[in-house]
Chain A
């Protein structure tokens, strides 16, 4: 158990009836890494992630997140991680500030801490004008950034991002990845799933899931060498073709 490994997964499996969604995957994630969890739609990425964040119980295998076992200590894991769902789950009928206050409070932050964080967040994202507007009225790109920031409110050790750039324009995507870099520089480990292969280039290491199994795991550079491909997209195509 290396202290530098914040996520350790061994033979993790999830079956739904007869269907094996996640087939005995094994990998590690180091502290401060930006780890890309890639794969096509339906490859099993989201299922795997749900097991790691403690909302889906695995069928078999072992995994520890932030030092806690996913089988027995799911609730402790949750104290140490942040999560941003595919749906950018914020409350549309609450304002930006209210959403921040709510999630901050849920994580047990003190009132003063919440206030401080709230102001910082709003300033950093340039949302002063819309701080008191309902989230439902904001464009998708802003919701995305707010959702990410909310996931980091309680300074978690690891933040899990599920398809965080879905449906967002390229510029906003770029800006978003800058936010991810910033978080990683502060020591937060970032675990991100995506089906955009170009985003793989931004990660420290990448794993590619195909039909529930991890078929590739390395840095983008090494993977391109291994598969003799110019881009990560090509790597994936080669893998998928089998």
Chain B
């Protein structure tokens, strides 16, 4: 299979919309195929890789911490990076620096990095295709 370079721009914050579920599914499929993936995490999406996210128990569900096994996007980001590496690909995950500063989420999953719109421009110029999943 021909390996492509794919860029994704994400904008939604964690726990706000179904857009990120769709994005993670697409990213997972691309990572399993070993494509070179770029992610520009913009606006609320800059919090996706924030390492201080923590799961919680859910008294309404009647479940403790382990039973609820609440998803965190930081774990999903880490799993994506690992999946890409396992399949010979790579993910360059850039967290928009100013977005991160505004939100106080300047602690990232290892393997992701701080960046700027210039990184996104570089991604656009170097990619076979780009998918923007904007917030609405």
Note whether A and B form a binding pair.
Answer: no
